[in-house]
Chain A
Amino acid sequence: MPGKLNPDLNYKNLTDEELILEFQKEDVNAFNEIVYRYKDRIINFLYRYTSSREESEDIAQEAFLRLYKSKHLYREIGKFSTWFYTIAINLAKTHLRHKKNYRTISINNYDENEEKDYELTANVIAPDESANASNENYYIQKAINALNVKFKEVVILRDIQELDYEEISKITKLPLGTVKSRINRGRECLKEMLEQIYKPKQI
């Protein structure tokens, strides 16, 4: 990878903001350190958001490429993590929108004589499916997928990524009160869904 190297710097001791500033000076090691620090966090977030490992990796790579290309757009005013999460979440939303559009086209071209080559995502988890379920994580992920997008993103950012409300508010560009209310509503939905899943098991 082309770029300058600064052997005197200990990149592990630098903050995210210092790293991006170093990378803005064409220091590729700073970029590598950023990739090392954020790759798992971003992929985990994107996986919970898209529920697909491949898609989450593709979007994460795209996010890092955006960071590589548009490093000069970062300003010291905000936290690097906020800026980078914003890039990732916007890419994820765009990806989901494209996916949705593609599915809509498939439905419109539907022919009754032909077999189905797609599956519509269920908004609510079916009770039969929950009876056969054994893995808790699997059901939690199913419940997250079933959540409305506007609740899903804030719940993931708060409870999985463990970001504070203010940062979530900056990432989603929503007021703090809206963020808090959305998080609570999302949690309520999840709780209801998970209760529905586990009830038959408990019985």
Chain B
Amino acid sequence: MDNEEKYLDISRKLKNLEPVKASDNFVHNLHSKIVEIEAEKRLEHEKKFDGDRGGFLKNLFGNMQYPWLVPAAGFTVLIFFVFYITFLNKNASENNQPLLSDQKTDISKQSNPPAEQNKTSETGNDKTLTGKENLPGKDIAGDLKTEKNERNPSITEEKKQYTDREETGYNKMELKAAQPEKNKDRSDAKNDEIKDFAKKENEPDIIENNGMIATEPQTGESSVSTESVTSNEPEVKLKSKGPENDSLKKKLDDKLRRINKSNLEKIREEILK
């Protein structure tokens, strides 16, 4: 209190000083500055927003409100990726395995001795036919081919030659595949083959009795054009019309015999060579 009284005069003088007031445009200037600041803020926000638009991750995770989601999401994506790859590989390996096994069985069948092949000739022919049956549009194509062949006998002959070449080639392959087992007695195997073909020649009665072309021994395994046509055509017809069409059956049998005979003759020649 002593100090206050001591300096009472000077403090009174200071209090009595004329107060300085703000100018008239002070508030206006202040408001204009605030508006400028707001505009700058908006521009910054817009820039930020535009920047956010472009980013894939920012679009994915919003305006990075949950940054902890980024590693978690990345990890899950990685897991899915790894799982997908492993699953695909597994599927692929599973798909490949049966194919390989089929190939192995084919090779084993090819390498079987001719005696066994004769025993399984019917089933083997079934397989070849089923393989042909799997070809898309084979019925229509077969029909067309047979019609054309009937109209142009020269073409059929050429095709026959071609198919014979193929067949002989295939037989060669068969023989080569069966070579390790046939090394002991090649000549016997050849004779057996010839005998088998001869037997097949005498077997068309089985076809007639069963009414199934799958048991036809005449249709070569690799023959594509004429033989496949001859084998498929009557199947359709027989299935559709049944045992009533005896004449058609006879015609077909004759055709098959001719083909078989020609094939057999050529095979014999090749074997003898």
B30 & A65 in contact (Cβ 8 Å cutoff) = yes
A113 CB, min distance to chain B CBs, angstroms: 40
Which chain A residues border B57 with CB–CB below 8 Å? none
In the assembly, what is the distance between CA of A44 and CA of B21, in Å? 6
Segment among A9-17, A54-62, A119-127 that sits at the interface with chain B: A54-62
A27 CB, min distance to chain B CBs, angstroms: 14
Which chain A residues border B105 with CB–CB below 8 Å? none
A95 within 8 A of B: no
Residue of A nearest to B31 (CB): A1
Segment among B33-41, B63-71, B93-101, B261-269 that sits at the interface with chain A: B33-41
CB < 8 Å: which of B20, B26, B35 contacts A44? B20
Which chain B residues border A141 with CB–CB below 8 Å? 17
In the assembly, what is the distance between CA of A163 and CA of B66, in Å? 48
Contact with B along A41-68 (1 / 0, CB 8 A): 0011001100001001100110011001
B189 CB, min distance to chain A CBs, angstroms: 101
Contact with A along B1-44 (1 / 0, CB 8 A): 00100010111011101111111001101110111011000000
Which chain A residues border B11 with CB–CB below 8 Å? 158-159, 187
B30 & A35 in contact (Cβ 8 Å cutoff) = yes
B15 & A61 in contact (Cβ 8 Å cutoff) = no
In the assembly, what is the distance between CA of A194 and CA of B9, in Å? 11
A39 & B27 in contact (Cβ 8 Å cutoff) = yes
CB < 8 Å: which of B22, B35, B38 contacts A43? B22
CB < 8 Å: which of B10, B14, B23, B35 contacts A57? B23
In the assembly, what is the distance between CA of A158 and CA of B177, in Å? 118
CB < 8 Å: which of B13, B20, B21, B23 contacts A194? B13
Between B13, B20, B27, the greatest number of chain A beta carbons within 10 A of the residue's beta carbon is seen for B20
Tell me what chain A mostly uses at the interface: helix, strand, loop, or mixed.
Answer: helix
Which chain B residues border A48 with CB–CB below 8 Å? 17, 20
In the assembly, what is the distance between CA of A136 and CA of B10, in Å? 12
Which chain A residues border B35 with CB–CB below 8 Å? 1
Q: How many residues of chain A have a CB within 8 Å of chain B?
A: 35
A39 & B26 in contact (Cβ 8 Å cutoff) = yes
| In the complex, chain A residues 96-117 whose Cβ is within 8 Å of any chain B Cβ | none
In the assembly, what is the distance between CA of A53 and CA of B18, in Å? 13
CB < 8 Å: which of B9, B20, B37 contacts A65? B37
A68 & B14 in contact (Cβ 8 Å cutoff) = no
A43 & B7 in contact (Cβ 8 Å cutoff) = no
Which chain A residues border B22 with CB–CB below 8 Å? 39-40, 43, 57, 60
Q: A35-B27, A43-B20, A160-B17 are in contact. Are A191 and B10 (CB under 8 A)?
A: yes
A180 CB, min distance to chain B CBs, angstroms: 8
Which chain A residues border B7 with CB–CB below 8 Å? 184, 187-188, 191
In the assembly, what is the distance between CA of A162 and CA of B33, in Å? 30
A134 within 8 A of B: no
CB < 8 Å: which of A2, A53, A69, A187 contacts B20? A53
A42 CB, min distance to chain B CBs, angstroms: 8
A17 CB, min distance to chain B CBs, angstroms: 22
Residue of B nearest to A188 (CB): B7
B33 CB, min distance to chain A CBs, angstroms: 6
| In the complex, chain A residues 176-195 whose Cβ is within 8 Å of any chain B Cβ | 180, 184, 187-188, 190-191, 194
A123 CB, min distance to chain B CBs, angstroms: 19
In the assembly, what is the distance between CA of A159 and CA of B13, in Å? 9
Q: A60-B26, A184-B3 are in contact. Are A68 and B34 (CB under 8 A)?
A: yes
Seed contacts A57-B22, A184-B3, A190-B10; 11 additional CB < 8 Å A-B pairs: A1-B31, A2-B38, A35-B27, A40-B20, A43-B22, A44-B20, A47-B20, A48-B17, A141-B17, A180-B3, A188-B7
Q: List 16 A-B contacts (CB under 8 A).
A: A1-B34, A39-B26, A39-B27, A40-B19, A44-B19, A48-B20, A57-B22, A61-B29, A61-B33, A64-B30, A65-B30, A137-B17, A140-B14, A155-B14, A159-B11, A184-B7
Residues of A within 8 A of B (CB): 1-2, 35-36, 39-40, 43-44, 47-48, 53, 56-57, 60-61, 64-65, 68-69, 136-137, 140-141, 155, 158-160, 162, 180, 184, 187-188, 190-191, 194
| Nearest 8 interchain pairs by C-beta | A159-B14, A187-B7, A47-B20, A39-B22, A159-B11, A44-B20, A43-B22, A40-B21
